[in-house]
Amino acid sequence: MKRHALALAAPLVCGLVLVSSASAQTRPGAQAPAAKAAPVSATPAPAAPARFARLVKGLAEIHVIQSPSRKVGNEMVTVLKIKNMSPAAIGLLKVEEYWYNTKTQMVSGDSQPYRKPFNSGEVIELTMKSPIKPDLYRNQFKFTHANGEVKVTPVKKFN
């Protein structure tokens, strides 16, 4: 018998608590003044539909301007400006830099991915930072992307 009374009283108490807290939050005399409504346009402008970038499949073509490598602290810093010359976007472009010594042994390097779609005609700048090792002689770059190979053309300036 006591269980039935408790089961019936619990929802009643909870309901009273919710009603009293809700009515305490609203004050009858403290209403905000009515603001003048903005005029409604007859036809709202439609939102632009989301579009996916069409990606290059196979060989992608880029032009590269390489700045001279310079020593900053205990790193060799090389800045590359890259322009996409392909008719579509390049997906997941990745640049790897390898540093060799005078004996043509690889001694240092860095890798920088560009994770966004690299659109046609777009110019990006990537900074390569490789730790300095003794006897650094020359560097080499390798470009790859998600759907194939990359044809690299070094240029002095972009058209």
| CATH at residue 116 | 2.60.40.1620
Q: Write down the pLDDT at residue 80.
A: 97
Q: What are phi and psi of 22, to 5 degrees?
A: -70, -40
Q: Is residue 37 part of a domain?
A: no
How many domains does the chain contain in total?
Answer: 1
* % of the chain surpassing 90 pLDDT: 63
Encoded tokens for 102: 């005078």
Neighbours of 36 (CB within 10 A): 5
Residue 73 in any domain: the answer is yes
Residue 102 is part of which domain span? 60-154
In a domain, 103, yes or no: yes
Among candidate residues 109, 106, 113, the one with its CA nearest the CA of residue 76: 109
Predicted confidence (pLDDT) per residue in 4-23, tens digit: 655 666 665 656 555 555 55
For residue 5, is it within any domain? no
139 domain residue, yes or no: yes
pLDDT tens per residue, range 33-90 = 566 665 555 666 677 676 788 999 999 999 999 999 999 999 999 999 999 999 999 9
**Nearest-angstrom CA–CA distance, 89 and 84:** 8
Q: What confidence score (pLDDT) does residue 125 get? A: 97
Rounded CA gap, 38 and 61, in Å? Answer: 51
Q: What's the predicted TM-score (pTM) here?
A: 0.66
Task: Assess if residue 17 is contained within a domain.
Answer: no
Average pLDDT over residues 131-157: 94
Please report whether residue 13 resides in a domain.
Answer: no
Spatial neighbors of 111 by CB under 8 A, at least 6 apart, are: 94, 95, 96, 97
Query: Does some domain include residue 113?
Result: yes
Q: Token pair for residue 34?
A: 């009515």
